[in-house]
Amino acid sequence: MIIQELLNTIYINGSPYDSADLSYADKRYPHTNLMPHLLDKLFEWVEPTYIVECGSMTGGSAKIMADCSNRKTDIICIDPFTGDTSMWARADHTDSHLFLGLEKGVPTIYKRFLANCMNDNLDTIVLPINCTANVGLKLIHRLKTENKISSLPNYIYVDSSHQLDETYLELKNSWKVLSSPGVLFGDDYFMPGVNNDVKKFASSLRSDEIDHEKLSQINKHFCDGQVIDNCIFQLDYQWVIFKK
């Protein structure tokens, strides 16, 4: 439902996939740290209404989320599809060069995202919004406030700027958009900007905003994870906060 509402509202009954060129399908796809076994448990405990993903690159994590939900939930992918600071700072490095896929100085990430989703028949349940995380999150909130969409997501996955302070702002905007009960989670916990801002954001939350029962439940299930600051569950690169 949310995809059709967004198509009607911001795409005026068109679709980003109308411009998809399947020749851009990415041989490195999917590249993601998202763990299916973690998602399986999260979806078991909190059934997704729809998911907002901030930072999608070429669609790898969106594909995992779609498959783990048996393709029964819509996924909104917010990303400018232009790469992050590290990719541009290391554009001469093989991995960064491949991630950006520059053509005459312009990244081909968005073209590859569309082609990958089309190739995997995800175009009916995965919809990109081509802007920064903070712009996209504010857009979702505004459209709901103006009754142009019917609901807010109960899952938001943050894998976007990874920069100090900017990540904190993404988390604040995500929490404002996330419905209750809901799951705020993300990637790259060990990156300094992410680690600092996730902890900083978590410390700003009241205890009664956190679902401590689900936090305890997930910590008991994944014995190789840990609870941080009585608020954050961390498993490998992934972090999770349960909104009550």
Q: What is the pLDDT of residues 132-165, one digit of tens each?
A: 999 999 999 999 999 999 999 999 999 999 999 9
Task: Tell me the pLDDT of the chain averaged across its residues.
Answer: 95
Domains, the chain, with CATH or none: 2-243 (3.40.50.150)
Instruction: From residue 241, give the alpha-carbon distance in Å to each of 3, 119, 197, 206.
Output: 25, 33, 13, 12
Checking if the pLDDT of 31 tops 90, the result is no
52 pLDDT band, cuts 50/70/90, is: very high
What are the structure tokens assigned to 115, written together?
């082609």
> What value does the mean pLDDT take over residues 181-206?
96
User: Among residues 184, 186, 202, 191, which one has the least CA distance to residue 163?
Assistant: 191
Q: Are 55 and 160 in contact (CB under 8 A)?
A: yes
Checking if the pLDDT of 171 tops 90, the result is yes
Q: Are 61 and 157 in contact (CB under 8 A)?
A: yes
CA–CA separation, 153 and 76 (whole Å): 9
CA–CA separation, 29 and 197 (whole Å): 28
In the prediction, which pLDDT does 168 show? 97
In the prediction, which pLDDT does 50 show? 98
In the prediction, which pLDDT does 94 show? 73
> What value does the mean pLDDT take over residues 205-218?
97
Percent of residues in the chain assigned helix, strand, coil, to nearest 5:
45, 15, 40
CA–CA separation, 82 and 62 (whole Å): 17
Query: Can you tell me whether residue 73 is helix, strand or coil?
Result: coil
166 pLDDT band, cuts 50/70/90, is: very high
CB atoms within 10 A of CB 202: 18
> What value does the mean pLDDT take over residues 39-66?
96
CA–CA separation, 58 and 229 (whole Å): 33
H/E element, 156:
strand 155-158
Give me the amino acid identity at 137.
Answer: L
In the prediction, which pLDDT does 46 show? 96
Query: Can you tell me whether residue 2 is helix, strand or coil?
Result: helix
In the prediction, which pLDDT does 160 show? 93
35 pLDDT band, cuts 50/70/90, is: very high
The more confidently predicted of residues 101 and 96 is 101
> What value does the mean pLDDT take over residues 125-133?
97
In the prediction, which pLDDT does 95 show? 73
User: Among residues 30, 144, 145, 136, which one has the least CA distance to residue 156?
Assistant: 136
Q: Which long-range contacts (CB under 8 A, 24 or more apart) does 34-41 make?
A: 34/60, 34/61, 34/64, 34/65, 34/157, 34/187, 34/238, 35/235, 35/236, 35/238, 36/64, 36/67, 36/68, 38/222, 38/235, 38/238, 38/240, 39/64, 39/65, 39/68, 40/68, 41/218, 41/221, 41/222
> What value does the mean pLDDT take over residues 111-135?
97
In the prediction, which pLDDT does 90 show? 85
Torsion of CA 137, 140, 145, 150, to 10 degrees: -150
